[in-house]
Amino acid sequence: MALGNVIIKDVDGNIPYSGVSGQEKVTGLLFDVSLQPELFTAGYGKNNESKLKLNDVLYVTNFKSAIKDFGIIERIETTEDDENNVNFLHGIPAYHIREFFRMSGNVDGNGKLYVMFADCSASWDAIDAMQRVAGGTINQLGIWTEQPLWKLNGAEEKYNLNIVKTLNGKAVAMADQHQPLSIVLSANPSNTGSSTSEGKQIDLNKIPTAICESSRISVIFGQARSSKVLTMQKRNVNNTPVGFIGAMMGAVARANVQESVAWVKMFNLFDDDFQDIELGFGDINLTGGDEFVSLNMYESLSPVLLDDLDEKGYIFPMKYAGRENGIYISKDQTCSIGDYRTIARNRTINKSRRSVRALYCLM
């Protein structure tokens, strides 16, 4: 009689693969150029029209491609008279695209980035256009716009929040079309919808809450305090803050869906051109020496004020005491206090929705 035995064999293919599919890394950057009417009709933009036109949707796989294939060049130092002939939107788009690739892996690495320049003054239909070109695969979209984030609401009242609910409605519509995405908004916080001296002054105590049950959108402000960023902001006739939307979207693309971009160990924004922080707004009227009155450098902001901005739902770059060479993202919150109050939660459920739909579409 043979002895008893237990035989174990390894059979592959029965454990679901939990790695990154790649699709949740697909990112979009939408530049609303409604306040730059001559961007594509004169100067560098006109001369570059064979490579890039208004409303084109570009698929950029690396930073070198952005420069070579589409003419989105890095900023070149020049005189004010030659500014628009030499630079494309003062180098702001190239700066953010470079920052995206830097934070998503490395500056010279590859990624999946859709870029569009559009006039969004009347509607945000450019988002639909980007998703159509991308086949509905854009999972997170960063928006840079010069439209004001806040509008004046009487001399003594807090400002009114602008744009956020409209964009959240667009994101809801995208989800209803089985193309869910998270939107990160970098609007203009430096004025209240007016080009007057008073309109260029922002009272930090009048900043309204961004919490408005808009769970598919996050609002960011703040930027690197560097000579390059300062020059780009000053040369722009609107003096709109440059922001850090590129770095933010790079961090989101790099993060697994369940990870917070505020994870200190993983997401450090620090770089040669990102060693210090400022809000980029406060009083953008110019002094006699052609300098901004105040851009609110980070060190001038009290912990109480920073906590207040955080509690109001905003995201901004910050530092932690005792951590040298470190600049981090304050939170990954959305404009909601509900279940989907973080970007990570939204990206997780969006990935689940896409996966389930893909499965049932194959049945």
Each residue of 24-56: pLDDT tens digit?
999 999 999 999 999 999 999 999 999 999 999
User: Among candidates 148, 29, 147, which has minimal Cα distance to 98?
Assistant: 29
In a domain? residue 160: yes
In a domain? residue 99: yes
Report the SS3 class of residue 289.
Answer: coil
CA distance 201 to 293: 9
Residue-number span of the structural domain to which 275 is assigned = 23-361
In a domain? residue 321: yes
| pLDDT confidence band for 358 (50 / 70 / 90) | confident
* Whether residue 15 has pLDDT greater than 70: no
Q: Mean pLDDT across the stretch 149-160? A: 88
Q: What is the DSSP string of 162-231?
A: -SHHHHHHHHHHHHHTT---EEEEEEE-S-SS--STGGGB--GGGPPP--SSBTTEEEE--EE-SHHHHH
Q: Give percent of the chain above pLDDT 70.
A: 93
| pLDDT confidence band for 74 (50 / 70 / 90) | very high
CA distance 117 to 217: 20
In a domain? residue 12: no
Element (H or E) spanning 94, and its range? helix 92-104
In a domain? residue 206: yes
Q: Which of 88-97, 155-164, 280-289 has the highest mean pLDDT?
A: 88-97
Each residue of 294-342: pLDDT tens digit?
999 999 999 999 999 999 999 999 999 989 999 999 999 999 999 999 9
Domain tally, the chain: 1
* Whether residue 16 has pLDDT greater than 50: no
Average pLDDT over the chain reads 93
Q: Which amino acid makes up residue 219?
A: V
* Whether residue 8 has pLDDT greater than 90: no
Q: Mean pLDDT across the stretch 54-82? A: 97
Confidence (pLDDT) at 20: 47
In a domain? residue 17: no
Q: Mean pLDDT across the stretch 161-179? A: 96
Q: Mean pLDDT across the stretch 187-197? A: 94
CA distance 26 to 141: 9
In a domain? residue 45: yes
| pLDDT confidence band for 7 (50 / 70 / 90) | low
Confidence (pLDDT) at 2: 57
Each residue of 233-289: pLDDT tens digit?
999 999 999 999 999 999 999 999 999 999 999 999 999 999 999 999 999 999 988
In a domain? residue 338: yes
pTM as predicted: 0.93
| pLDDT confidence band for 156 (50 / 70 / 90) | confident
